[in-house]
Amino acid sequence: MGPSTQKMTPFFLFSGQAEEAMNFYTSIFDDSEINHISHHADGKVLQASFTLKGQQFMCIDNTNGDHHAFTPALSIFVTCDTDDEIEHVFAKLSQDGFVMMPLASYPFSEKFAWVADRFGVSWQLNLAKQ
């Protein structure tokens, strides 16, 4: 599903780390790129869009001084295609982050993990059934 047909787009509000987060995420996932970025005069992200595994996302930096934390109540669920992919993604996202459920076998999945990355964004990683 390309960006022109996608009707709902997850939107992140970062506290000054939007560009760093986009660069981090696009370095982890295949079929990923920063599509567009515009900045405020101070260098903060005014508006940006990026794609991870073919899914489009948007983000901005909050410039009003308020900090709104991300929470595990909403997470990005990622279906990984191979064992190597889930291992790689888990290692990168959990670095300087927090592991809520370690990468392991569970009754509902052969291989699954739930992590919050260093920005506080929550990710559920699942290995596709082989």
CA distance 94 to 129: 23
- pLDDT tens for 25-36 read 999 999 999 999
Q: Are 76 and 121 in contact (CB under 8 A)?
A: yes
pLDDT tens-digit series, residues 86-111: 999 999 999 999 999 999 999 999 99
Residue 72 near residue 114 (C-beta atoms within 8 A): yes
Q: What is the model's pTM?
A: 0.91
Helices (H), 16-123: 18-28, 83-94
